[in-house]
């Protein structure tokens, strides 16, 4: 492990910091207004593209920055430090579909889609999960049969983030029902305006509509949209999922460290339990604040170690699942602590100023231990691949 930065990396940091300080947008769209968020995110993506910062981890030949792993780490740290917009509606295009096309797409697919994603012209969504296929993704049932030059798709997906504002979907369908379940799946690019698609938004605990159910009724998708080969979709999908735990995750960690500092500042302002003037004067709350601050630092050290290892070996380490699991549960501990510090005013919800914002964060944070593999599945991976425990 070597966690010192070279002079060239420090120069890269200075360049990134200067650009971000001058260009990060100071206003944000209303969280509930998905159309406004879409427009805002695409405009920000375009701005980064024009300045040469888009697709930081993408190869240069596909329009990306082609940054080294250490440079990516620095970029995402600076990105969070500058308070730059969280990547939400553009996430699937930039971190799943784009890298998957780079790895598995043909020249035509790369030439058409990659520039549109990088320039901030399209939103992608992910059609993997189904009502009976989440953790056990390979049991998916959405069927596709070949008819001439088309795949004809019938079935249902669920939890499709931003399905209601996306142009394209990375869609997994079953093309060979007779084959063993991992072998009969195909990964296909689905244009969301194809006739036969119905998108129904789902309302979450916070009142948002970021998730959707998507129904397919004889939807005709050109065979030319298949990525990889027919029935080879599991391999392609695994390539997609391995990108999810890439370096982009580092900016979330830096953001979390900032939130802990904000919480400590808040605890010095609000009254504490048992008539104390400040929440910070309560021994138990102070102990929990100190603990989460130490835990955020420990996680940063683990991530540095993992990134440094990957930079030297070229391989992402198996500890990515440990970091991911620790992060997701730590987010929830921090949000719970915020609820305990704030007490009843937190119940004011989204409309309730700073206290309400913590409540929204608490509610959305519940999804941290579900999306991208539940905490139980992460523990299975750690037990199996890291600890070598018997199945
Ligand atoms: C914020 C968020 C965004 C999402 N976005 C998308 C998206 O854009 N596209 C998409 O396709 N999906 C998306 N999902 C869905 C997500 O991938 C699934 O929710 C996840 O894979 C879990 O599947 P499930 O909900 O069907 O739960 P299930 O798999 O039914 O699990 C139910 C419970 O059983 C446990 N369990 C299941 N199997 C095992 C096992 N083998 N060992 C131990 N415990 C087990 C789970 O841990 C869980 O507690 C999103 C989810 C979230 C929370």
What's the whole-number mean pLDDT along residues 23-35?
A: 92
For ligand 1, atom 30: residue with the closest CA: 134
**Atom 20 of ligand 1, residue of closest alpha carbon:** 134
pLDDT tier, 266 (very low <50, low <70, confident <90, very high otherwise): very high
Give the closest residue (by CA) to ligand 1 atom 53. Answer: 371
Q: Which residues of 290-323 are buried (b: 16+ CB within 10 A; e: fewer)?
A: eebbebbeebbebbbebbbbbeeeeebbebbbbb
Query: Cα separation of 96 and 154, whole Å?
Result: 24
352 has pLDDT over 70: no
Considering only 8-22, 215-229, 233-247, 272-286, which range has the smallest mean pLDDT? 233-247
DSSP string computed for 353-388: HHHHHHHHHHHHHGGGGTTTS-HHHHHHHIIIIIS-
What's the pLDDT tens digit per position in 86-125? 999 999 999 889 989 998 999 999 999 999 999 999 999 9
pLDDT of residue 104: 94
Whether the predicted pLDDT of 350 surpasses 90 = no
Residue 355 confidence (pLDDT): 77
3 state SS of 225: helix
Ligand 1 centroid, distance to 265 Cα (angstroms): 35
Residue 349: its pLDDT value, please? 62
- pLDDT per residue as tens digits for the range 62-83: 999 998 888 988 999 899 999 9
**To the nearest 10°, the Cα dihedral for 285, 290, 291, 293?**
120
Q: What angle in degrees, to the nearest 10, is found between the helix axes of 283-313 and 320-342?
A: 160
Average pLDDT over residues 138-152: 98
What is the average pLDDT value for the chain, to the nearest integer? 91
**Cβ-Cβ contacts under 8 Å for 14 (sequence gap 6 or more):** none
Q: Greater confidence, 274 or 147?
A: 147
Atom of ligand 1 nearest to the CA of 137: 21
What pLDDT score was predicted for residue 348?
A: 72
Cα Rg, the chain, nearest whole Å? 22
pLDDT at 210 over 80: yes
Report how far ligand 1's centroid is from the alpha carbon of 85 (Å): 26
What pLDDT score does 94 carry?
A: 92
Report which protein residue has its CA nearest ligand 1's atom 7: 160
- Check residue 377 and give its pLDDT: 93
- Within 6 A (CB) of ligand 1 lie 125-129, 134-135, 159-161, 367, 370-371, 374, 376-377, 380
For the stretch 151-167, pLDDT in tens is 999 999 999 999 999 99
Choice from 159, 161, 243, 372 to test ligand 1 binding pocket (greatest atom count within 8 A of CB) = 159
**Dihedral sign computed on CA atoms, order 88, 93, 97, 98:** negative
Structure tokens, 224: 């030319």
Locate the ligand 1 atom nearest the alpha carbon of residue 157 and give its number: 11
Give how far Cα 265 sits from Cα of 6, 71, 234, 262, 351, Å: 34, 31, 47, 5, 21
CA 154 → CA 17, 116, 140, 144, 188, distances in Å? 48, 28, 12, 6, 14
271 pLDDT above the threshold of 70: yes
Q: Which residues are catalytic?
A: 244
pLDDT of res. 70 = 84
Q: Of ligand 1's atoms, which has the minimum distance to the CA of residue 370?
A: 53
Q: Given pLDDT bands bounded at 50, 70 and 90, which one contains residue 59?
A: confident
Intra-chain end-to-end CA distance of the chain, in Å:
32
Region 314-330: what's the mean pLDDT? 82
Q: Cα(379) to centroid of ligand 1, in Å?
A: 14
| Cα–Cα distance for residue pair 43/49, rounded to 1 Å | 10
Q: Is pLDDT above 60 for 244? A: no
| Range of lowest pLDDT (54-58, 204-208, 239-243, 275-279) | 239-243
275: left (phi over 0), alpha (psi -120 to 50) or beta: left
User: 386: which 2 tokens?
Assistant: 């890291």
Within the chain, how many helices (H) and strands (E) appear?
A: 12, 8
Cα 317 to Cα 5: distance, rounded to the nearest angstrom = 21
Distance 374 CA to ligand 1 centre (A): 6
pLDDT at 242: 60
CA distances from 42 to 88, 160, 240, 244, 272 (A): 11, 19, 22, 20, 43
SS3 assignment for 37-69: HHHHHHHHHHHHHHCCCCCCCCCHHHCCCCCCH
């Amino acid at each position: 492990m070597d966690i010192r930065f070279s002079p060239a990396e420090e120069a890269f940091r200075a360049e990134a910091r200067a650009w971000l300080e001058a260009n990060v947008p100071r206003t944000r769209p209303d969280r509930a207004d998905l159309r406004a968020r879409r427009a805002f995110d695409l405009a920000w993506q375009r701005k980064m593209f024009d300045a040469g910062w888009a697709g930081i981890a993408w190869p240069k030949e596909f329009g990306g920055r082609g940054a080294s792993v250490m440079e990516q780490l620095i970029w995402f740290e600076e990105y969070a430090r500058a308070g730059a917009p969280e990547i939400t509606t553009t996430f699937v295009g930039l971190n799943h579909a784009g890298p998957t096309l780079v790895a598995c797409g043909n020249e035509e697919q790369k030439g058409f889609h990659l520039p549109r994603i990088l320039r901030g012209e399209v939103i992608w969504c992910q059609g993997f999960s189904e009502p009976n296929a989440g953790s056990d993704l390979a049991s998916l049932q959405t069927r596709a049969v070949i008819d001439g030059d088309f795949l004809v798709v019938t079935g249902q997906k669920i939890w499709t983030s931003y399905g209601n504002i996306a142009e394209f979907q990375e869609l997994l369908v079953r093309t060979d029902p007779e084959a063993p379940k991992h072998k009969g799946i195909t990964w296909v690019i689905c244009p969301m305006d194809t006739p036969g698609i119905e998108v129904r938004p789902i309302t979450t605990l916070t009142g948002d509509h970021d998730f959707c159910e998507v129904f397919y009724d004889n939807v005709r998708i050109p065979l030319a949209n298949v990525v990889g080969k027919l029935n080879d979709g599991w391999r392609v999908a695994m390539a997609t999922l391995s990108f999810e735990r890439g370096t982009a995750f580092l900016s979330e960690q830096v953001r979390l460290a900032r939130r802990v500092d904000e919480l400590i500042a808040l605890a010095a302002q609000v009254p504490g339990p048992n008539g104390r003037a400040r929440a910070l004067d309560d021994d138990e709350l102070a102990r929990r604040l100190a603990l989460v601050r130490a835990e955020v630092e420990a996680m940063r050290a683990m991530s540095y170690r993992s990134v440094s290892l990957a930079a030297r070996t070229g391989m992402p380490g198996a500890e990515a699942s440990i970091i991911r699991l620790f992060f997701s549960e730590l987010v929830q501990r921090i949000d719970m602590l915020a609820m305990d510090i704030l007490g009843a005013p937190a119940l004011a919800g989204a409309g309730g100023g700073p206290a309400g914002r913590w409540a929204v964060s608490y509610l959305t944070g519940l999804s941290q231990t579900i999306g991208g593999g539940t905490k139980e599945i992460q523990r299975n991976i750690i037990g199996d691949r890291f600890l070598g425990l018997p199945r």
